[in-house]
């Protein structure tokens, strides 16, 4: 498989779907919104965007299965899968807040090998393929060169349905407030990881995530020279529902801080 070609084709498709999302943003009414589960919203835009992505991705790699947020397509248990979030940050989208994204990754059964994230509001497209580096709108990107957690701007996501570790999480936030330059919560894990890849955030951590939230971002960070793991060495950052990403320079400090609480 020629990963550079697959990446280029995926970029074109994601841009097309991003245009559809941007056009529909002003049209969504309260009656169009469904509650899937606690604080998890979906609209016809998410569903239609996913259908368009799946249709186009089938043409790019016909043998691949799908792991998609809205359940379109079937998973391939013995090979390649597209991991798709048609609209990461749906709540932001529905409240007319600017940070929401399309996130697509091709996973070979062990690791993501192609990644495309489009931050729709700013029209910033992040892309990577295994061994090919990471890019934003065609320009090469790298993780932050900052070498101190005390100078780091760190991103996270607030629990919105899984409150099992809420007390530990609040203690971790208290520690972060005191030991970093600041903490941001954007509302789209895909964008958080893209911002780590391009050096805007020095690090990112969150628990309670799904594969479609992070798969593309994992490859972006790694190809931009960063490191990604779960909180514990035995867990998987894509399927293990917890993730920590940063530059190599602060990885140990950030890992120690997070693992002390979670």
Residue 95 is encoded by which pair of tokens? 């409240």
What distance in Å separates the CA atoms of residue 154 and residue 212, rounded to the nearest whole number?
A: 21
Buried-exposed string 83-100: b where 16+ CB fall within 10 A, e elsewhere: bbbbbbbbebbbeeeebb
| 60 φ/ψ angles, rounded to the nearest 5 degrees | -75, -45
Nearest in space to 124 (alpha carbons), one of 98, 94, 105, 145: 98
**Residue 87, annotated ligand binder?**
yes
88 has binding-site annotation: yes
Convert 128-181 into a string of H (helix), E (strand) and C (coil).
Answer: EECCCCEEECCEECCCCCCCCHHHCEEEECCCCCCCCCHHHHHHHHHHHHHHCC
Does 77 belong to an annotated binding site?
no
**Torsion (CA) 200, 102, 134, 114 in degrees, nearest 10:** 150
Determine whether the annotation assigns residue 175 to a binding site: no
Structure tokens belonging to residue 84: 């798709």
Return the closest-CA partner of residue 152 out of 134, 185, 177, 172: 177
Binding residues: 69, 85, 87-88, 213
Binding residues for Mg(2+): 69, 85, 87-88, 213
């Amino acid at each position: 498989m020629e990963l550079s070609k697959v990446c280029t084709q995926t970029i074109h498709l994601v841009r097309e779907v991003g245009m559809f999302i941007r056009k529909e943003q002003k049209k969504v009414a309260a009656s169009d919104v469904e509650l899937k589960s606690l604080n998890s919203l979906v609209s016809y835009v998410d569903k239609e965007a996913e259908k368009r992505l799946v249709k186009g991705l089938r043409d790019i790699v016909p043998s691949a299965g799908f792991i998609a947020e809205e359940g379109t397509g079937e998973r391939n248990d013995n090979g390649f899968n597209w991991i798709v979030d048609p609209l990461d940050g749906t709540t932001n989208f529905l409240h007319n807040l600017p940070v929401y994204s399309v996130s697509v990754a091709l996973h070979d059964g062990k690791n993501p090998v192609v990644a495309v994230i489009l931050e729709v509001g700013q029209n910033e497209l992040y892309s990577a393929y295994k061994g090919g580096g990471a890019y934003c709108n065609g320009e090469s990107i790298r993780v932050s060169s900052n070498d101190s957690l005390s100078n780091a701007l760190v991103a996270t996501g607030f629990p919105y349905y899984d409150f099992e570790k809420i007390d530990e999480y609040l203690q971790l936030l208290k520690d972060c407030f005191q030991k970093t330059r600041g903490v941001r919560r954007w509302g789209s894990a895909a964008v958080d990881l893209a911002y780590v890849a391009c050096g805007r955030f020095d690090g990112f951590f969150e628990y309670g995530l799904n594969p479609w939230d992070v798969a593309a971002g994992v490859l972006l960070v790694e190809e931009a020279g960063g490191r990604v793991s779960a909180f514990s060495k035995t867990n998987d950052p894509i399927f293990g529902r917890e993730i920590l990403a940063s530059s190599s320079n602060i990885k140990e400090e950030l890992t120690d801080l997070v693992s002390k609480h979670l």
